[in-house]
Structure 1
């Protein structure tokens, strides 16, 4: 329960930071921070859905998902869906950007490290790093 609660709080915090940056900044800062914070929200979603996974596994799943979404933009399907839906635009993006591929891990790795640190501090009945 604690893990899922923290995952929700992390996603909300990432969204609030992303929206604040979008309101206050423009250009490159907005682009790269939005990409990294999107990946942070994906990591939080993975942890919420799969709370007993090791942090590094959750991180790999989150980055793989982000990369899959980014590379799917090469097909043009997300662009078509984005024309019809703001939610699709926010979730799937519009066009491929190789820089985004590099920034997704930047949004996930700090959370994996923090999650690992918090998990190591918490006593566990089975001794597993990820068992809460």
Structure 2
């Protein structure tokens, strides 16, 4: 339950960061920071859905989703949906932009790194490993 709450908090913080980027930045820097944060948000939502998943899995899911959405923009379907819905415009975008693919990878890498550090055995609040916990288990005894 705690992992899901932390992931939900990370999702909320990511939305706030995105709103901050929109409010205080402009141009390419704001656009590409927004792209990276989009993927960070998707990674956080993946962690909400599957709180026990390894960081590489949630980052991979976020990156895959982001890339699929960007590539779907080549079809024109997201552009048409975006004309009729603000939610569709926010989630699906409207226009393909190849550099976005790179910035989604940056966001996924950031989400992976933060999650991996936060869940590593040496992270604050985790139980220290003892010599007994490092010994391999023997089955059948």
Q: TM-score, normalised by structure 2?
A: 0.84
Corresponding residue number in structure 2 for 1:99: 99
RMSD: 1.5
Distance 2:73 2:62 in 1: 17
Could you say which residue in structure 2 is the equivalent of 1:130?
none
* Aligned counterparts of 2:101 and 2:9: Cα–Cα separation in 1: 25
The offset of 1:97, in angstroms, is: 0.6
Query: How far 1:64 sits from its partner (Å)?
Result: 0.5
Pairwise mapping of residues 110-129 of structure 1 onto structure 2 (< 5 A)? 110-121=110-121, 122-123=126-127
Residue aligning to 2:17: 17
Q: Which structure would you say has the larger Rg?
A: 2
Superposed, 1:5-44 pairs within 5 Å as 5-44=5-44
Distance in 2 separating the partners of 1:19 and 1:118: 24
1:67 and 2:57 correspond: no
Provide, for residues 85-119 of structure 1, a one-character-per-residue CA deviation record: whole Å limited to 9, x for no partner: 00100000001010100001111212211211222
Q: CA deviation at 1:19?
A: 0.8
* Cα distance in 1 between the residues matched to 2:111 and 2:58: 10
Partner of 2:52, secondary structure, is coil
SS in 1 for 2:18: helix
Q: Shift in Å at residue 55 of structure 1?
A: 0.6
Q: How many residues align?
A: 125
Q: Gapped runs of 5+ residues in structure 2?
A: 128-132, 134-141
2:81 paired residue number: 81
- Structure 1 outlier segments of 4+, above 6 Å: none
Q: Unpaired runs of 5+ in structure 1?
A: 128-132
